[in-house]
Amino acid sequence: MNNKLWQSLANSWKVPELRSKLLFTAAMIAIYRFGSYVPTPGIDIAALDEFFAKGGAGVVGFLDLFSGGALGRVAVFALGIMPYITASIIMQLLTVVIPKLEDLAKEGEQGQKVITKYTRWLTVGLALVQSIGYVFLFQQYKALPDLNWWRGALIITTLVAGAVAVMWLGELITARGIGNGMSIMIFISIVSRIPSGTSKLFTQSIVSIFLFLLLALAVVVAVIWITTGERRVPVQYAKRVVGRRMMGGQSTFIPLKVNMAGVIPVIFASSVMLIPATFSQFIDSSVTNWFQTAFSPSGFAYLVGEALLIVIFTYFYTAVTFNPIDQADNLKKYGGFVPGVRPGRPTAEFLDRILTRLTFVGALFLAAIAVLPWFLIRWMDVPFYFGGTSLLIVVGVALDTMRQMEAQLLMRHYEGFLK
């Protein structure tokens, strides 16, 4: 197995196009990590470290995980990719609600360009609001000494510019690199925190370390099993005469994955649940303090809300990526049919029924994995947030990226990574 993996890696380096994409992605990641260490001017690092040691272990500490530690340093890329993800979520939801946006989505590439432009401007707005909130939050903990209007404007402008730069890097990876840029950014951010998280883990007892490693291995195996699982719907194509040639007659299948949405619902649900808890940090009152405690990443209310949103987003994203009606129409158009099912509407209903059952299993699995951090923190006293959600994102993004690399290799008759 190891020899095959190294051989596949060597083959991927032999393909000029794939090699250029890998090098481009690595360059964008290097720029992203460099920006995560460039400090924003006017920050008292000592006071900031004290804030995160005492009061930053809640929502801000969880956000720091998704920024790769940049938020803890208030670096130029402190906001990370989260404003862009939140803007993407809002635009996808508005596309379903607002008819004008729905018409734009159906116009193809030109309409998608307009929606992308709206998403970018919404990202700038969200980054501006978050930056202002963080300035007031860190000012309360004296992490911004001698704060005035000019210095505050400089910090806010730097953070907003950093968020826009991260958005641009993510789009460049999607367009010219390997994998989804948004997912790659979060993947790198989480992986970069593994060394510090592991060092905290080894402060625990031997039993806690063993149980955590065993549970982490089980999560990885389960994620791979569910992500690669699929239901193959058989399809038969009728024979037809085209000119003087007999076409069709072959048998194939439609692969319906158990988890067709991938890790996107987990990323979306985490982003949405962090929005109210994040803004509650900016106002110091009894109501917001209660809200902040109740909806902290280790709170029961947060986990219930995240699990429900994961289920909802899984169904929503699956419906966006796979349309049974269009699939049935395409089969009918090219003379294909599912054995035992009439073409047209009955085929669409048949596919929709199968997809609904598969999506239910996949959504429950994603929700179950996401609540694992609560058990790790409460029962095993793991002092960091590298739990089910993080493992799910890391493994899922790695599988998606390997799948794209495998497709590039198979196009050139090389053996891929996955079997």
Over the stretch 168-202, which tens digit does the pLDDT of each residue have? 999 999 888 888 888 888 888 888 877 776 776 67
* Contacts with 372 (C-beta within 8 Å, 6 or more apart), sequence order: 215, 219, 387, 388, 389, 391
pLDDT of residue 160: 92
DSSP 123: H
> What is the model's pTM?
0.73
Over the stretch 8-29, which tens digit does the pLDDT of each residue have? 667 667 777 888 888 898 999 9
Q: Please determine whether the domains at 1-192 and 197-386 fall in the same fold group of CATH.
A: yes
Q: Map residue 31 onto helix, strand or coil.
A: helix
Mean pLDDT comparison of 69-83, 153-167, 369-383, highest-scoring range:
153-167
Tokens representing 251 are 């048998």
The pLDDT confidence band at residue 224, using thresholds 50, 70 and 90, is: confident
Res. 240: pLDDT tops 50: yes
Over the stretch 351-398, which tens digit does the pLDDT of each residue have? 889 988 888 988 888 888 777 666 666 665 554 455 566 777 787 788
Tokens representing 225 are 């099993």
DSSP 297: T
What is the radius of gyration, based on Cα positions, of the chain? 24
pLDDT of residue 1: 46
More confident residue, 1 or 251: 251
For 1-192, CATH number?
Answer: 1.10.3370.10
Mean pLDDT comparison of 32-41, 62-71, 141-150, 297-306, highest-scoring range:
32-41
pLDDT of residue 172: 92
Q: Map residue 188 onto helix, strand or coil.
A: helix
152-160 average pLDDT score: 88
pLDDT of residue 124: 93
Over the stretch 252-273, which tens digit does the pLDDT of each residue have? 788 888 888 777 787 778 777 7
Q: Could you tell me the residue ranges of all domains in the chain?
A: 1-192, 197-386
Regarding the domain with residue range 197-386, which homologous superfamily does it belong to in the CATH classification? Answer: SecY subunit domain (1.10.3370.10)
More confident residue, 115 or 376: 115
More confident residue, 162 or 201: 162
Q: Which of 63-67, 84-88, 310-314 has the lowest mean pLDDT?
A: 63-67
